[in-house]
Each structure stands twice: as C-alpha cells, then as structure tokens.
Structure 1
Amino acid sequence: MNESNYALLADLVAVVHLAYAATIVIGLLLVLCGGIAGWKWVRNRWFRIIHLLMILIVVAEAWAGVTCPLTTLEESLRAKANQPFDGDGFLAGLVHQLLFFDAPWWVFTMCYTVCGLLILVSLSFVPPDWSSRKTARRLTN
C-alpha cells in the first residue's frame, strides 16, 4: 500500500473517531430534549443501551490510562503515510481541531466521567422502554 492510501485510511479513522464522540454528546442532548418534547424514539432500549456502552468504554479506557484504539490506529496510519498526527489535509485538520485539545489527562478523564454520569442519570429522567413489542402485544390482548 502506498502513502496516499495510508493517509486516506487515517482520515477515515479520524472521521469515525469524531462520529463516535459526536454520537455520545449529541445522543445525550437528544435524549434530554426528546424527554422534554415527548419524542418516543429517545426511549428506544437498543439506542439507550448502545449509547451507554459507548460512553462506558470511553470512561473505562480513561480511568485505566489506555489510549483510545482509534487514536492509536490513526497515529500508526499517519506514520506509514509520513504525515504528522494531525494530518496534512483540510479534513484531518478540521477533525483534529474538533476532537483533540491540549489539556492534562485528568481533565479528559473527568469530562468523560461526568458525561457518563449524565447518561446514567438520563436513564432515570428519560427511562428507556424496556418492554418488547411482543410482550406489550400479549399484555394488551
């Protein structure tokens, strides 16, 4: 594989990383807004389980001192592309501005933990619908 292919793969990993982080943050905002607005889809149990698992992975990595595997993969691909970690192009630069900040590790750990706690608390304020459709149909018939 040539350097440009590694650079393309690194950009793809960076975009996936940003999408993962955005799903966590935007998901929490949508759950809270949806709870107020009465949106039924924010109570979907699979959405809520996946959302909770996503932040739990991030929090566990942070508390364990593990570098995110997506960061590690992107770094490796950038090295093979002979690029700096923040990439050479517009897309990589934009993603890195949105995703990476210069702060001590504990700041990130606390931010991830607070976000995780907010998502856990949201389970009480906007509880998921734990019943299945089959069970709900049987109960109403």
Structure 2
Amino acid sequence: MLALSPTNAARAADALLALHVGTVAFVVLGAVAILVGGWRRWRWVRGFRWRLVHLLLMAFIAVQAWLGALCPLTVWEQALRSRAGQAAYQTSFIEHWLSRLIFFEAPWWVFVAAYTGFAALVLLAWFRVPPQRARRGGHG
C-alpha cells in the first residue's frame, strides 16, 4: 500500500466509501431506470455499453457473494481505516452515514440470496429491455 499519513488514509477511506455508495446507487438505480425506461420507451436505457457494465458489475457482485468474498472496495477501505488508526465504520461523519446506507447486519445467506435475486433481475431486464448497439455512420 502507498505510504499515506493517517489523515490522508482516513480521507482516502472516506472517498473510497463514497465511491462504494456510488457503485451501489449505479447498480440499484440503474436497474430501476432500465425497467421504468423500458416501459416508458426511453431510448437511453438501451445503451449497450452502460448496460454491459451494469450487467457485468452485478454478476461480479453475485459471484463474490457465492464465493463468500468481501467486495474489493470494502477490503481496501478497511485497510485504509486501519492505516489511519480507525476502527472500521466508527469514525468520520461521511463514513458513518454512508456506511449505514449500504451495510447491513444479516446472515451471509441473506446477502447471497439478495445479490443472486438482484442479478437475476438485471439479467431478465437485459432480455426484457434489450440494449441496442449504436448505429455506425448514422446520426443518432
């Protein structure tokens, strides 16, 4: 790991947590946007690249859950908090509230079931609201 001062490690951990919350928001709100946008006929929800990223990210999350592995962002954040001399998830304002937003206490099987179910929903949306590749040479 980089040689960070405890203060900079704490700031980096907070930034990483914010990125983690953004990732969760992308996955959850992206799925909602796809389903609502398919129904409302929003063309942008069929964008192939972002849909592929969305699907692959959700698949990665589900596979991690099946393997019993922690998210790499969580592992990195905890290492930074340790470097900062902080107990994970018990210090700064940003870290405190953002972690409460995305981390829950439950048996591991609950997370495996939830991530698997959500991955199935994202996969179903792939076929129900299929993405479309951009047309080459055209305007639009």
- Same fold, judged at TM 0.5 (above): yes
Q: CA deviation at 1:133?
A: 1.1
Pairs within 5 Å for 1:48-127:
48-127=51-130
| Gap runs ≥5 in structure 2 | none
Q: Deviations over 1:40-74 (max 9, x none)?
A: 00001111101001101101111111111111101
| Gap runs ≥5 in structure 1 | none
Aligned to 1:22: 25
Instruction: Number of aligned residue pairs: give it.
Output: 135
* Cα distance between partner residues in 1 of 2:32 and 2:71: 23
Question: 6, 10, 15: which is aligned to 1:12?
Answer: 15
- Residue type of the alignment partner of 1:75: Q
Q: CA RMSD in A?
A: 1.2
- Runs of 4+ with >6 A deviation: none
TM-score by length of 2: 0.92
Q: Which has the larger radius of gyration?
A: 1
Asked if 1:47 is matched to 2:68, the reply is no
TM-score by length of 1: 0.91
CA contact (8 A) 1:78 1:87 kept: no
Q: CA deviation at 1:87?
A: 4.0
Which structure shows the higher helix fraction?
A: 1
